[in-house]
Amino acid sequence: MKKVNGHEIINLFEQWSPKRFAEDWDPVGLHIGQLNRQVEKVIITLDVNESVVNEAIDKGANLIIAHHPPIFRPMKHIWTDTPQGRLIEKCIKHDISVYAAHTNLDVAPGGVNDLLASRLGLQNTEVMEPTISDPLYKLAVFCPIEHADNLREVLARAGAGAIGDYTGCSFTSTGIGRFTPTTGADPFIGEVGKMEEVAEERIEVVLPGPLRSKVLKSMLAAHPYEEPAYDFFVLDQRTEEFGLGRVGTLPASMELKEFAEFVKDALDVPAVRIVGDFSKPVQKVAVLGGSGSKYLKAAKRSGADVFVTGDMDFHSAQDAELMDLAIVDPGHHVEKVMIEGVAQYMEQACREKGYAVSFIESEINTEPFRFV
Ligand SMILES: [Zn+2]
């Protein structure tokens, strides 16, 4: 097992939940401390408060991965006789770093919204409100026939040619490449001043925009030529979409009241608030962790019968009623599903890498509401 520092762990995490998935206003990333230290235990929590920091100290964890950013608004000073200042002071005194993954973790495939959709047993889930759309590129590269197999393998390993459930997709055609090396060149094939003709393959692969520089680097490193010929094309017929909320269907239709009871159990909350006629049949369900009142129209547009989301305010509830969109509000704290979700994902990702680090699920309940 390999000893690792915070950077290596967070790099792995951000391959799943990159910062570019976050909304513009969202201060995701490292909030307190540093990532250059060795980390053996990471604690996962929805919120960071003093009890969570105490828990990290007790359990020997020196990295906290939280969903809600502990420093949400810019601070003008750190006064250690205020709760927030005391929290920061305690983290620094105990060499505990805090990293926040907020809306990027909501958007990430397998993140908060997918975890909630899966708890609700939703099928055929899709993104409710796309927020990120990556361009797709096609790379066409020319190389001598006997090197084509190797180059295809290198491109696939860099992530090019992944389409849906298929990997290593490519197309190849053959032809003749021509070139004349001039003074100063150190050609792999041919000699200076003499026109060369080489039987080459043109390999075509598609790749998502964020992989462009990685694929290009791998291709250039593996290509036998000094000056490989290649083209990148932007494709406009296919893009990969990511976004907030999920919409999917229940295996069978049920009445709103029955569905609300089901949500209560599935998300393990003491109560839910409901908007809509109790006997309304529901089957298509939109779900968005956190505060969803801004997304009523998106939920309605998605064709959902009911929208499961937290922090519903009075006037938004009235708007939902007017647009005949039922609401089940289980509160904001249901995002606690991320604790187990992130711990399990990272435990496995680090095991595959041989990293000597373990992930602990925080046991501190950060729900501020009590119910009577
Ligand atoms: Zn939240």
Task: Output the DSSP codes for 168-199.
Answer: S--EEEEEEEEE---TT---SSS-TTS-EEEE
Q: Residue for token digits 């180059």?
A: 151
Q: Measure 332 CA to ligand 1 centroid, in angstroms.
A: 6
Q: Measure 102 CA to ligand 1 centroid, in angstroms.
A: 7
Q: How far apart are CA 212 and CA 214, in angstroms?
A: 6
Q: Measure 97 CA to ligand 1 centroid, in angstroms.
A: 20
The total of other beta-carbon atoms located within 10 Å of residue 313's CB is 11
Q: Measure 106 CA to ligand 1 centroid, in angstroms.
A: 9
Q: Measure 165 CA to ligand 1 centroid, in angstroms.
A: 31
Q: How far apart are CA 212 and CA 210, in angstroms?
A: 6
Q: Quote the pLDDT of residue 238.
A: 64
Q: Measure 275 CA to ligand 1 centroid, in angstroms.
A: 21
Q: Measure 186 CA to ligand 1 centroid, in angstroms.
A: 58
Assigned token pair, 293: 């009142």
Alpha carbon separation from 250 to 7, 25, 98, 122, 225 (Å, rounded): 40, 33, 37, 5, 55
Q: Measure 60 CA to ligand 1 centroid, in angstroms.
A: 26
Q: What percent of the chain is helix, strand and coil (3-state, nearest 5)?
A: 35, 30, 35
Per-residue pLDDT tens, the chain, 372 aa: give them. 899 999 999 999 999 999 999 999 999 999 999 999 999 999 999 999 999 999 999 999 999 999 999 999 989 999 999 999 999 999 999 999 999 999 999 999 999 999 999 999 999 999 999 998 888 899 999 999 999 999 999 999 999 998 777 888 999 999 999 989 888 888 888 888 899 899 999 999 999 888 899 999 999 999 999 889 999 999 886 677 899 999 999 999 999 999 999 999 999 999 999 999 999 999 999 999 999 999 999 999 999 999 999 999 999 999 999 999 999 999 999 999 999 999 999 999 999 999 999 999 999 999 999 999
Provide the H-helix boundaries in the chain. Answer: 6-16, 50-59, 83-93, 103-107, 112-119, 145-157, 212-222, 256-266, 296-301, 314-322, 337-353
Q: Measure 291 CA to ligand 1 centroid, in angstroms.
A: 7
Q: Measure 34 CA to ligand 1 centroid, in angstroms.
A: 24
Q: How far apart are CA 16 and CA 230, in angstroms?
A: 29
Residues 6+ apart with CB under 8 A from 154: 218, 219, 221, 222
Q: Measure 317 CA to ligand 1 centroid, in angstroms.
A: 19
Q: Quote the pLDDT of residue 241.
A: 83
Q: Quote the pLDDT of residue 165.
A: 77
Q: Measure 292 CA to ligand 1 centroid, in angstroms.
A: 10
Using DSSP bridges, classify how beta strands 123-144 and 230-255 pair: parallel, antiparallel or unpaired. Answer: antiparallel
Q: Measure 309 CA to ligand 1 centroid, in angstroms.
A: 11
Q: Measure 353 CA to ligand 1 centroid, in angstroms.
A: 30
Q: How far apart are CA 350 and CA 348, in angstroms?
A: 5
Q: Quote the pLDDT of residue 28.
A: 97
Q: In the 3-class helix/strand/coil scheme, how is 267-306 assigned residue by residue? A: CCCCCCEEECCCCCEEEEEEEEEEECHHHHHHHHHCCCCE
Contact (CB, 8 A) for 178 and 171:
no
Q: Quote the pLDDT of residue 236.
A: 80
Q: Residue for token digits 């075509």?
A: 204
Q: Measure 339 CA to ligand 1 centroid, in angstroms.
A: 12
Q: Quote the pLDDT of residue 167.
A: 86
Q: Measure 68 CA to ligand 1 centroid, in angstroms.
A: 6
Among 64, 97, 9, 62, residue whose Cα is nearest residue 364:
64
Q: Measure 229 CA to ligand 1 centroid, in angstroms.
A: 48
Q: Quote the pLDDT of residue 363.
A: 97
Q: Measure 244 CA to ligand 1 centroid, in angstroms.
A: 12
Overall pTM > 0.95: no
Q: Measure 33 CA to ligand 1 centroid, in angstroms.
A: 23
Q: Measure 103 CA to ligand 1 centroid, in angstroms.
A: 8
Q: Quote the pLDDT of residue 133.
A: 83
Q: How far apart are CA 101 and CA 19, in angstroms?
A: 8
Q: Measure 22 CA to ligand 1 centroid, in angstroms.
A: 13
Q: Measure 144 CA to ligand 1 centroid, in angstroms.
A: 53
Residues 6+ apart with CB under 8 A from 36: 5, 6, 7
Q: Quote the pLDDT of residue 286.
A: 98
Q: Measure 116 CA to ligand 1 centroid, in angstroms.
A: 13
Q: Measure 361 CA to ligand 1 centroid, in angstroms.
A: 17
Q: Measure 179 CA to ligand 1 centroid, in angstroms.
A: 59
Angle at the Cα of 220 from the Cα atoms of 218 and 224, rounded to 5 degrees: 115
Q: Measure 304 CA to ligand 1 centroid, in angstroms.
A: 22
Q: Measure 113 CA to ligand 1 centroid, in angstroms.
A: 11
Buried b (16+ CB within 10 A) or exposed e, 1-25: eeebebebbbebbbebbbeebbeee
